[in-house]
Structure 1
């Protein structure tokens, strides 16, 4: 049986991630992220030294503040911080660091050179190699935020920024619910230079991917991986009961491993 304390991040990290210089403009960087299908990008100096990470969340914050995508340089934005780990760090220790410090993780070699990045999705890919099957009950969010089908994109942006969330459900009287995420904002809206005054309806994702409440973390992670998404909506008797993200699932695994170690 594979254990989370045996698996190391070096086998699951994204090696030599794409980076950008601080002097590059935000619009140019956002377009690049959309073209490459990535949700974050490492910001480095000319010598390769990382200074921070630009994620979809920072882009959301800029839009909420300026009501448009400002033509500023990356160095003028407060970036996501990061913690240094090494390739031989276990996935359990990496998960603990990511969650306790609420930060991103960059992998550095023994010579203090950045060699990779490991995300929540990467950690889930590793945890799925184990036979752990933790519950998601303690990590799922039970507070659901939503916008109407005909609300403006800016309405969703401002709500997501205010509540510090990465998605809102989209209520549609004619069909089932949909969802609007930070990824939709980057790929469908900003990449196509769509006005934030446009309605959410054609820029949201339909149909909503739902799973039965009570699903185990390993099954939830498998569904996320197969559909290339980072969140699942939970339902019970056809009613929406919560939402769980990739980071939530990492937390479920972390709690499970911690409990196992305590019992040893």
Structure 2
């Protein structure tokens, strides 16, 4: 085979594959085993379930139909920040009743745009009111490394106002900061350097699921070492890093300094445009 044709043939396959991926559907990436709970369950048990299963949301059912959703963000903003007792508060009292849905035949691009339009980190797929699937921000991020549109750099979509706390800050105080600022994580510092990160998922999987106290230093529960990416990285590479490392947030570094943080939702916003 002539050298020119040999060099050209793989790129043709690559282009065809990218075109196929572009029209991949929600049904191809959605989680079909939707974890549901009853509305009368306490927040305490709901948080334990999310923490033990390492998931960020639970669909709430009433009468065999989806009636709401309870998320890790709700646990902070609607329960802890409001000084409610998780053991005395039912999910029905704090769940979201407005459900963001999408059809299983929608494309990945359509799903990304719907998620951004509704300012949501999940999309529910219903059949006669019954949840048959869910697509999360993490599901979409895992599809991004295959998307042709993913060559935009992270600098254009990252959050530049990075919130951090010293390592000896009480976990309760870190959670309050996250709730007030409506953010999913804080970076943790030791002296002059960034040492780790504390996230909503850490709160559920390391604290709530184990009945551990939150009046101890956040360093006890923070994830370390801190995984960072360089400035100028494409969202393709950032999405791949998130997928491989099973994380949803990446601090962006330039010349040894943290200049921003890119989240799964940021990547979806970039892809949706």
Fold conserved between structures, TM > 0.5: yes
Match of 1:102 among 107, 119, 123: 119
Asked whether the 8 Å contact 1:16–1:115 carries over to 2, the reply is yes
Does residue 1:53 correspond to 2:65, yes or no?
no
Whole-angstrom CA distance in 2 between matches of 1:71 and 1:180: 26
Residues 11-46 of structure 1, C-alpha deviations (whole Å, 9 max, x = no match): 000013110010111111111111212111111113
2:142 and 2:214 mapped to 1: Cα distance? 35
Q: Which residue of the partner structure matches residue 126 of structure 1?
A: 143
RMSD: 1.8
Q: Secondary structure at the match of 2:111?
A: helix
Q: Matched residue of 1:69: which SS?
A: coil
Q: Residue deviations 1:70-114, cap 9 Å, x none?
A: 5211001142632221111011111111101113311134x5542
Q: Which residue of 2 aligns with 1:259?
A: none
Alignment partner of 1:221 is 2:239: yes
Report the more deviating stretch, 66-75 or 142-151.
Answer: 66-75
Q: Does 1:63 align with 2:116?
A: no
What whole-Å deviation, never above 9, does each CA across 1:164-214 have from its counterpart, x for those lacking one? 100001111287421110011111111222222111111111111111011
Structure 1, unpaired ranges of 5+: 256-264
The within-5 A match list for 1:74-153 is 74-79=91-96, 81-103=98-120, 104-109=122-127, 111=128, 113-132=130-149, 133-153=151-171
Q: Is the 8 A contact 2:69 2:95 kept in 1?
A: no
Report the CA distance between 1:64 and its aligned residue.
1.8
Larger Rg: 2
Over 3 Å counting, the alpha-carbon distance change for 1:112 and 1:157 in structure 2 is closer
TM-score, structure 1 as length reference:
0.90
Q: Which has the higher helix share?
A: 2
Matched, 1:201 2:219: yes
What residue in structure 2 maps to residue 37 of structure 1?
Answer: 54
Asked if the contact 1:21/1:46 (under 8 Å) is kept, the reply is: no
Moved over 4 A (4+): none
Q: 2:200 aligns with which of 153, 172, 182?
A: 182
Gaps in structure 2 of 5+ consecutive residues: 1-15
**TM-score of the two chains, using structure 2 as the length reference:** 0.87
Count of residue correspondences: 253
Query: Matches of 2:104 and 2:222 in 1, distance apart?
Result: 37
